């Protein structure tokens, strides 16, 4: 079993699920269990300036082994797994020489991974896959990225004949709940450019992401006995349903792809008296993004006009913006990653991220940070899997990138 797989299997057994309801950083103490393990491993490799700060950020430096001055580059992955599904008691399955058929994840619960539902599985016929047991997520997002970075650094340490400049690495908490960069010390990290290892399928290379906002709507209804409710009752749940129905029908995740944005209802709860809705709003185009926020604001205003001022309240917050604006002026960092992939036999897929990464906010903090594949698929759920050859190719990509920077 390769080093990257051994590390990955070790990391995913540590529960690091984040919690968006928490106000601490990290949002869950258990993320520090993995952070402390990584600090130990980085120290064992002989890296310099290894640190774990009070907020759960791990940083370390591999010094340059060349005299030539080249850009300092960083590689970043995140510690936490999605808050939407358990990362506790992960029990991975190794599927050797995948035959292209259905993979039974859990016989008892009749949970299976099928190429009829996930046709991309057929790309990996003949390869060894790591899957879940059907009861938890796998954690490839982003423990695969962590394993790939550390394996690449370990390879460079053990092969000093490979030239490289100064390399910085960082592992961040709470990326999955949008806080991965809240306390990231860009000055301390001290890199010129960086790459998040946080993408999906092999070959993915991304320097565009959604502009993102959250919308939290609260509705104050009026509960009256239904027998005498005419012209008096305001059913908060029904007001919420009206709000949702007024949003553009086709601008939902299940109807969109590529550069198409959406409104995504993530939570709807309530009673006649009170109700709440939570949305995330996404679009690559900044003008369309601002229009989406304007639409939901006008819908809320309309409901208040109809039912009375104060019936509906809206809390609208920007979360992050499209990194393209900050990366394009130094697009050679994307070109280097693309060249690295080509040189090791990978066909690059330069696509927009239909989501966000730590790299988006880092780019706006002055550290341009495109995103590179981990190899994982179906993140955040029980159908998550990762082909081992994709992980190994990610390690090669990281090593090759470090070599190419010495040739600038």
> What distances in angstroms separate CA 32 from CA 29, 38, 128, 185, 329, one per listed residue?
6, 10, 31, 18, 36
Looking at the DSSP bridge assignments, the partners of residue 269 are: 276
Spell out the residues 6+ positions from residue 394 whose beta carbon is closer than 8 angstroms to its own. Answer: 4, 144, 145, 148, 197, 202, 372, 373, 374, 375
Helix, strand or coil, per DSSP, at residue 328? helix
Would you state the structure tokens that stand for residue 189, as one six-digit string? 């990290």
CA gap 6, 11 in Å, rounded: 9
Whether 373 and 351 have beta carbons less than 8 Å apart is answered as no
Give catalytic residue positions. 80, 175
How far is Cα 366 from Cα 355, in angstroms, rounded to an integer?
20
**Contact assessment for residue 239 and residue 295, using Cβ atoms and an 8 Å cutoff:** no
Please tell me the distance from the alpha carbon of residue 105 to that of residue 102, in angstroms, as a whole number: 9
Helix (H) and strand (E) counts for the chain? 10, 17
Cα 388 from Cα 4, distance rounded (Å): 9
**Which DSSP symbol is given to 84?**
T
329: cis peptide before it, omega within 30°? no
* Strand, helix or coil for residue 201: coil
| Start-end of H helices in 160-263 | 186-189, 236-246
Query: What letter does residue 121 receive in the DSSP assignment?
Result: G
| Cα–Cα distance, 299 to 248 (Å, whole number) | 11
């Amino acid at each position: 079993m390769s080093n990257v797989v051994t590390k990955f299997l070790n990391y995913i057994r540590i529960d690091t699920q984040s919690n968006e309801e928490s106000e601490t950083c990290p949002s869950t103490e258990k993320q520090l269990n993995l952070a402390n393990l990584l600090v130990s491993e980085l120290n064992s490799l002989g890296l310099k300036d290894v640190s774990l700060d009070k907020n759960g950020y791990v940083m370390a430096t591999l010094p340059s082994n060349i005299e030539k001055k080249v850009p300092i580059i960083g590689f970043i992955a995140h510690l936490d797994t999605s808050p939407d599904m358990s990362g506790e008691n992960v029990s991975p399955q190794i599927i050797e020489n995948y035959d292209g058929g259905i993979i039974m994840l859990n016989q008892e619960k009749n949970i299976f991974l099928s190429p009829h539902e996930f046709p991309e599985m057929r790309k990996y016929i003949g390869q060894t896959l790591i899957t879940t047991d059907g009861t938890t997520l796998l954690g490839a997002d982003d423990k695969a990225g962590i394993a790939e970075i550390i394996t690449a650094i370990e390879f460079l340490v053990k092969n000093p004949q490979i030239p490289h400049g100064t390399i910085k690495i960082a592992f961040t908490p709470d990326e999955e709940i949008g806080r991965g960069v809240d306390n990231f010390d860009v000055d301390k990290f001290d890199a010129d450019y960086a790459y998040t290892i946080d993408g999906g399928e092999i070959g993915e290379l991304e320097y565009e992401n959604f502009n993102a906002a959250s919308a939290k709507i609260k509705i104050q209804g009026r509960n009256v006995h239904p027998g005498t409710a005419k012209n008096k009752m305001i059913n908060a749940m029904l007001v919420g349903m009206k709000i949702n129905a007024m949003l553009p029908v086709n601008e939902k995740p299940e109807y969109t792809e590529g550069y198409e944005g959406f409104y995504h209802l993530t939570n709807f709860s309530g009673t006649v008296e009170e109700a709440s809705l939570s949305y995330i709003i996404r679009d690559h185009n900044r003008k369309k993004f601002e229009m989406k926020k304007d639409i939901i604001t006008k819908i809320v205003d309309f409901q208040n006009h109809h039912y009375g001022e104060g019936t509906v309240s809206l809390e609208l917050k920007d979360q992050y913006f499209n990194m393209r604006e900050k990366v394009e002026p130094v697009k050679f960092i994307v070109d280097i990653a693309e060249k690295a992939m080509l040189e090791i036999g990978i066909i690059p897929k330069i696509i927009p991220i239909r989501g966000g990464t730590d790299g988006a906010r880092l780019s706006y903090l002055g550290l341009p940070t495109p995103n590179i594949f981990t190899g994982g698929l179906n993140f955040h759920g029980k159908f998550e899997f990762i082909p081992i050859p994709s992980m190994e190719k990610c390690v090669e990509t990281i090593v090759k990138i470090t070599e190419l920077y010495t040739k600038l």
